[in-house]
Amino acid sequence: MTPLMVFVYNHPSKKAAIYGELDAQGIVEFAVQAASDSPIRGTELFLRMMNAFGGDARAIRGVWRKGTSPSVNIDKVNELTAGGLALEHAVVRTWTFTRAQKLGFQRSTVLLQEGTAGAYTKLDVLIER
């Protein structure tokens, strides 16, 4: 798939970066990294990207994977579901959803799940207005 629009920002400190794609259906997929000592936070990078995409962004697709390093969204889901919270309620407490919610995105749908509560390894989530 060729994206309709691409947003890339690498902070001069080399401690933070974001890459995002907007497809023809208005769905955004992105990856952000920000070191704990970065002079710019991941939230600021996300806001810059979403502002660049503007009203063309109709939804955000979260592609969350559990690997060897921390992954803020899936780690949060695993923490919450291990404590007994239902998956759909855990998703709305993730980093991506809470930032998207401030921009008017209100609904989430789990499109793919692998693993079990507290031990999910793959989650694909669609966050819509």
Residue 89 one-letter amino acid: H
Three-state DSSP state, 123: strand
Task: Say how far apart CA 14 and CA 39 lie, in whole Å.
Answer: 10
Low-confidence ranges of the chain (pLDDT < 50): none
Q: What is the pLDDT of residue 3?
A: 79
User: For residue 92, what are the contacts with CB-CB under 8 A and spacing of at least 6?
Assistant: 98, 101, 108
Q: What is the DSSP secondary structure assignment for residue 39, as one 8-state letter? A: S
Task: Say how far apart CA 27 and CA 125 lie, in whole Å.
Answer: 12
- Per-domain boundaries in the chain: 1-57, 63-129
Q: What is the pLDDT of residue 40?
A: 96
Q: What is the pLDDT of residue 60?
A: 98
- Please name which of 89, 74, 83 lies closest in space to residue 120, comparing C-alpha atoms: 74
